[in-house]
Structure 1
Amino acid sequence: MASQETSRTLDVAGIGFGPSNLALAIALRERGREAPNAAFFERSTSFGWHRGMLIDDATMQISFLKDLVTLRDPRSSFSFLCYLQEHGRLVDFINHQILVPSRAEFHDYLAWAAARVPEAVSYGSEVIAVRPVPGDRAVDCVELVIRDVAEPGRTRTRLARNLVLATGLQPALPDGVEPSDRVWHSSDFLHRLAELPPAPERTFTVVGAGQSAAEITNHLLGTFPDARVHAVFSRYGYSVADDSPFANRIFDPAAVDDYYLASPAVRESLMRYHGNANYSVVDLDLIKEIYRRQYQEKVAGIHRLRIANVSRVRAVAPAAAGVDGVEVQIEFLPNGDVETVNSDIVIFATGYRPADPLPLLGELADFIELDDEGMLRVDRNYRVVTSEKLTCGIYLQGATEHTHGISSSLLSMTAVRSGEIAESLCADLRHSPARAVTGALRTP
């Protein structure tokens, strides 16, 4: 059953309500009387951010100052420091003498911020289609088809003059690997771990060489005293994340301008030079902790952690009849030797890929311009470049690494990026004859 909502056309419709669009909702709200009529639609029934990886003692990899607002406006009441003050922990945090909070605390901060803008978001609302609404000369408005998650047969529609897509990242698994009760992606780690029945001993295989893989390996060794863990990765060892001051400039706002203006060859070199600031790398303290744990167990004659380095998983399959678990074929890359090990659980910490916005945009894709590599053309303010026949704005939060660099979907740029998108939206709306300034965010 579908229904057309009678409320006025939205100036801005946001799809997804993770940290990026939460930051945008705050940025729009803080524009005061200039704030457009905006609403955000989120498939989940409540706010959440990487809940499956909120491992005890896991910390953020960025400074608390790279929160939702501070780099855009240090005076904002939505800052991490204001969150600490409201919760009576500001002095305690200062005495802690750290720049990086725990991941659990930062998640609590994000949820606190989301709870302060309840009027901006409609939870349990999945946008399943976007349709062009032709105007006199061009498509200046779109229709969103929104499914009620609690009642999948019920849909409604809303009209909007601008879209902001922040649909996040999708878990990536190697070709031929399908998730199951015994084969997990790291994004579901804690959820699936909580469902495991008690057992005296277990064997886990963790695939991947990045931060998530190392955190999972360390957590399993610490949580299950009798467990054995196979760590499989193609590197010789865990590589250290380069978070040195000069290398970290790749995450500066100015670096986005440099990357955007650079030639394809320079962009490629920047990604190659600085990939070790973000991809398949691990914090040095965690590397040392895993090594310390393995060494101390060797001293005690215990061999719970086995590292299969310079290796890859060739295949996973259910174990032979009558045997529980999963058979994992591990190839040693230097000579091609293959060993088969049996694991109760295999966890692929193999990263994520940006969600492709084109399938959701449907017929709007016909108006979108692509570059020579078949990638979306995106302007500096994160607006998708379209033909003159489409004047409705489409903005991307994520899926712009090819145009805006390594920080395009990272928290490091969230505050600044949301401010730039908010400014672009408001500038366009000021010059739109079809829009009158409403002065406040409206209830979705």
Structure 2
Amino acid sequence: MENKLYDLIGIGIGPFNLGMAALLDQTDEIDAIFFEKTPEFVWHPGMLIETMDLQVPFLADLVTFADPKSPYTFMNYLHEHDRMFPFFFHRHFEVPRQEYNHYLQWVAKQLEGLYFGNTVVDVIDKKEADVPHYEIVVEETSTGRKKYYQARHIVMGTGSEPLILDGLDRLPNEDVMHSSRYLFEKDHLLKAKHVTIVGSGQSALEVFLDLLEEQERDTEMKLSLFTRSGGLFQLDTAKFAQEMFTPEFVDYFHKLSLDQRKGALDNLGPLRKGIDPDTLTRLYTKLYHRTAAMKDSRVHIQPMTEIEGIEATEDGYLLQCRQWQEEVEYTYPTDKVVLATGYKPHFPDWFLPRFKDDIEWEEEGIYKVSRDYQLCFNDDRQHHFFTLTDLVHSHGAGATNLGLSVIRNIHIINTIAEKEIYRNQKNTTFQQFSAEDYK
């Protein structure tokens, strides 16, 4: 066991904790290290499709909202890679997904205290110690050797995992796959005569568009898209709507009751689940040009349809479909299926067994989180357990927003340091959300 007591240990190294590490690198106030089970940093490798962009502008990088002078800004990345002029002439606010991944890898390679290929297999609460802290058990992936570390605070950034329909995980990956594996299985898809994508979000449209490009080189391939939603609806990018991704709105949202927050999330659906308008325009334009002379029978788009099951046959697969508005059930044959069915929060195996009885729950399955992202415990502790995972219920639609993730890290850093290391932005909206001042 290491005798050293760290101020902070981060569990998982995705963009959120990587941004935390980048901000901490520029201050000596907090001594922190981070562990990640994968052997190297890579961001959604199965969906790094060429020509596809992030849905947020380049200013929502790892650090700019906290420290635009940081050496880890996206602008400095462009400068260091001689891409300032191309980016300037490109005149596009959004960053290509592949370039964003390369930017993240560039930052990760410069930071100390990031340990890849190391899985946190247990966290033990040492609340009775003279200095209350956590003991972190880490297993080295390549050797299985365990090491033990100690930290006053924990930040859990274990991200999300693919959401798969019940039973479909038993089907061959090369035939029925989640969109997170799309590029890994793309060669198998291109050999098929009929590929069906299931989903109504950004990932579904990106896969569909990419395969439409491939379809032009293979005239026999048929493509189908089934969406449970009422249609292919675009993300709300209106300027006043975007103010829901500000610290002011998070302040307002967090103070609401759980029932009020649930209702607010329903109203914020177009901000969370829509498709980028540029992506929809690209799809419509491509289909319009392709059907100038005649209808293209190789493309089928069917909204308002749930996929209730998939049955393997000798010739491929049968989708069990239900058009929920008409209440019509039918089967639909296909060779391959891409499930763009989203993600769910990922929790380590040790999390609930260790902490379920010690933390506060707003209701079953929904833990209570403070404004500064601490799990709320039943005792009044000073060794905090911060979470970056599963925060939509407590902090709103912006819980997964890349720009707000920087603001979240500011809160956590300032709480640990017990002083202002990075300044929180104020007065960032033209709207006032609360009426408390008028009581």
TM-score under structure 2 length normalisation: 0.89
Matched, 1:287 2:280: yes
Match of 2:121 among 123, 128, 135: 128
Paired position in structure 1 for 2:100: 106
C-alpha separation in 2, matches of 1:236 and 1:37: 50
Q: 1:95 to 1:293 in 2, by over 3 A?
A: closer
Residues 307 and 76 from structure 1, CA distance in 2 versus in 1: closer, same or farther, beyond 3 angstroms? same
Amino acid across the alignment from 1:284: P
**2:407 matched to which residue of 1?**
416
Q: 2:8 aligned with 1:9, yes or no?
A: no
2:120 is paired with a residue of what secondary structure?
strand
Separation of aligned partners in 2, 1:353 and 1:190: 21
Which of 263, 273, 297 is residue 290 of structure 2 equivalent to? 297
Q: For 1:334, what is the secondary structure of its paired residue?
A: coil
Identify which of 170, 185, 190 aligns with 2:178.
185
- Please list, as runs of the form range in 1=range in 2, the aligned pairs for 1:248-263 lying within 5 A after superposition: 248-263=242-257
Q: Distance in 1 between matches of 2:393 and 2:278?
A: 31
Q: Establish whether residue 175 from structure 1 lines up as the match of residue 178 from structure 2.
A: no
Aligned to 2:199: 208
Paired position in structure 2 for 1:400: 391
Structure 2 residue runs of 5 or longer lacking an equivalent are 422-439
Match of 1:363 in 2: 354
Q: Does 1:150 align with 2:142?
A: yes
> CA-to-partner distance for each residue in 1:96-115, whole Å, 9 max, x for gaps?
11111111111111111111
Q: Deviations over 1:9-67 (max 9, x none)?
A: 22211000011001111121212x32x22110001100011111111111111010111
**CA deviation after TM superposition for structure 1 residue 154, in Å:** 2.3
8 Å CA contact 2:126, 2:135 repeated in 1: yes
**2: CA distance between counterparts of 1:255 and 1:219?**
36
Gaps of 5+ in 1: 431-444
Partner of 2:327 in structure 1? 336
Separation in structure 1 between the aligned mates of residue 6 and residue 311 of structure 2, nearest angstrom = 50
Shift, 1:162, TM fit: 1.0
How far did 1:422 drift? Answer: 1.0
SS at 1:11's partner residue? strand
CA contact (8 A) 2:189 2:336 kept: no
Q: Deviations over 1:358-388 (max 9, x none)?
A: 8425323332122245521111110111133
Aligned to 2:373: 382
Residues 131 and 362 of structure 1 are in contact (CA less than 8 Å); yes or no, is this contact kept in structure 2?
no
One-letter code aligned to 2:212? L
What secondary structure sits across from 2:397 in the alignment?
A: coil
**Structure 2 CA distance for aligned equivalents of residues 423 and 356 of structure 1:** 25
Aligned to 1:23: 19
Higher relative contact order (CA 8 A, sep 6+): 1
Q: 1-side partners of 2:71 and 2:344: how far apart? A: 33
Q: Distance in 2 between matches of 1:48 and 1:136?
A: 38
CA distance in structure 2 between the aligned counterparts of 1:213 and 1:88, rounded to whole angstroms: 33
Tell me the distance in 2 between the aligned counterparts of 1:216 and 1:48: 19
Aligned to 2:156: 165
In 2: Cα distance, 1:377 partner to 1:289 partner: 42
Structure 1 stretch displaced more, 405-414 or 289-298: 289-298
Which residue, 88, 107, 132 being the options, matches 1:140?
Answer: 132
Given that 2:359 and 2:377 are in contact with CA atoms closer than 8 Å, whether structure 1 keeps it comes out as yes
1:217-296 paired onto structure 2 within 5 Å = 217-225=208-216, 226=218, 227-279=221-273, 281-296=274-289
* Matching residue of 1:433: none
User: Residues 65 and 71 of structure 1 are in contact (CA less than 8 Å); yes or no, is this contact kept in structure 2?
Assistant: yes
RMSD of equivalent CA atoms: 2.3
Cα separation, 2, equivalents of 1:401 and 1:236: 23
Mapped partners of 1:197, 1:379: distance in 2:
45
Q: Which amino acid aligns with 1:193?
A: K
Q: State the secondary structure of the residue aligned to 1:423.
A: helix
> 1:217 and 1:126, CA in 2 relative to 1: closer, same or farther beyond 3 A?
same
2:35 aligned with 1:44, yes or no?
no
Question: Matched residues in 1 for 2:88 and 2:117: separation?
Answer: 38
For 2:59, what is the secondary structure of its paired residue?
A: coil
The residue correspondences of 1:78-117 to structure 2 (distance < 5 A) are: 78-117=72-111
Tell me the alpha carbon deviations over residues 187-240 of structure 1, each in whole angstroms, 9 at most, x when there is no partner: 11111214x2873x5211100111110111111111233321110012342101
Kept in 1, the 8 Å contact 2:57–2:94? The answer is: yes
- Aligned partners of 1:349 and 1:337: how far apart in 2? 23
Match for 1:122: what amino acid?
A: Y
The 1-side partners of 2:395 and 2:126 are apart by: 30
1:176 CA drift (Å):
3.5
User: Could you tell me which amino acid in structure 2 is paired with residue 316 of structure 1?
Assistant: I
Counting matched residue pairs gives: 415
TM-score (norm 1): 0.88
Asked if the contact 2:121–2:350 (Cα under 8 Å) also holds between the matched residues in 1, the reply is no
- State the secondary structure of the residue aligned to 2:184: helix
